[in-house]
Amino acid sequence: MGLIKVGILRGGIGHEYEVSLKTGASVIKNLPKDKYQPIDILITRDGTWHLGGKEILPENAIRSVDVVFNALHGEFGEDGQVQQILEAVKSPYTGSGAVASALGMDKHKAKEIFKQAGFKVPNGIVIKRDYQTDAEAIAYDAFQKIAPPWIVKPAGSGSSVGLYLAKTFPELIQALEACFEVSDRVLVEEYIRGKEATCGVVEAFRDQDHYALMPIEIVTAPNKKLFDYEAKYGGETSEICPGRFTKEEKAELERLAREVHKILGLRHYSRSDFIISPRGIYVLEVNTLPGMTEESLVPKALKAAGISYEHFLDHIIGLALGNK
């Protein structure tokens, strides 16, 4: 029997192009070579698909492999769009399906689902860009509804792209203006003070339907206010795994991560972010395609649990192919 051809889909049109390239490179590097043949499928920033360095139609690229490992992040790759293309070609692929991906990517919709499930979530509002209204007027409306300080972020983006902490009204205006450069929909939330945590989930692993990886404690550098894009990939943040949580906090983080995965109908693997505050544990958001770079959180949690990157990839591809 020949090697299974795995198309590693990376790049993309979103703001997380560089991170996706690194995730894809890590997957290519760590794919068990005795079982799989990695095939690099690159989508450039303008949306052009390439296979072997040559332009190719998306459906032809997909049909040239046995299974697709989706290493895209953010817009197009994580919001259900590329999933629809893969499903139209009837190709097996890793990660969540189109509908679940779209739900996970829409931070506000996901929050409403979490709230209905009884989870604690920060109070927040979604503001749609209005080209007829200036940012100051929009900020004033938010100021009347939510007390400062505020977390301001695009309603549909990942990797903490465009994440801001605004403590004053002028800072709120600046944050809104910056976020509107990334998205037409911006989420303004109350700032929850507490310990940051994240927890991954892997399906059908170690005799569990939904296996929770060790929760990671995230400690940002003293000069950083938030675990934003720069902090996440700049190497200045301490990511402690296993985190310094109480037994009860650890159990609750794992439970919530599993429930988030199940409630949204996610598939194969995910990673959810939390804040542990004096008022309880708040669910912030979910990553339906967590980063798999050398600096990423899921690989660190896998290593802490004694799971090799190669074994994880083999497991996820097996799930996509229906072998698990």
Tokens of 280: 């309880």
Q: Nearest-CA neighbor of 42 among 25, 66, 67?
A: 25
Q: Is 323 exposed, middle or buried (0-12, 13-18, 19+ CB in 10 A)?
A: exposed
Which architecture, in CATH terms, is 124-190?
2-Layer Sandwich (3.30)
What pLDDT does 229 receive? Answer: 46
| 200 CB-side CA count, 13 A | 26
Class of domain 4-94 (CATH, top level): alpha beta
Q: What is the pLDDT of residue 182?
A: 82
Query: What fold is seen in the domain 103-119+193-321?
Result: D-amino Acid Aminotransferase; Chain A, domain 1 (3.30.470)
Q: From the centroid of its chain, how far is CA 73? A: 7
How far is 114 from 121, CA to CA, in rounded Å?
A: 7
Q: Do domains 4-94 and 103-119+193-321 have the same CATH topology?
A: no
pLDDT number for residue 156: 74
Spatial CB neighbours of 128, under 8 Å, sequence gap ≥ 6: 184, 185
- What's the confidence (pLDDT) of residue 128? 87
Instruction: Write the secondary structure of 120-182 as one string of H (helix), E (strand) and C (coil).
Output: ECCCEEEEECCCCCCHHHHHHHHHHHCCCCEEEEECCCCCCCCCEEECCHHHHHHHHHHHHCC
Distances (CA, A) of 108 to 18, 111, 286: 26, 5, 11
With vertex at residue 9, the alpha carbon angle to CA 75 and CA 240, rounded to the nearest 5 degrees, is 75
Indicate the residue type of 103. L
> String of b and e for 132-166 (b: at least 16 CB within 10 Å)?
eeebeebbeebbeebeebbbbbbbbbbbbbbbbbb
Residues of the chain with pLDDT under 50: 159, 228-229, 233
Confidence at residue 133, expressed as pLDDT on a 0 to 100 scale: 72
Neighbours of 306 (CB within 10 A): 7
pLDDT of residue 157: 66
What are the structural domain ranges in the chain? 4-94, 103-119+193-321, 124-190
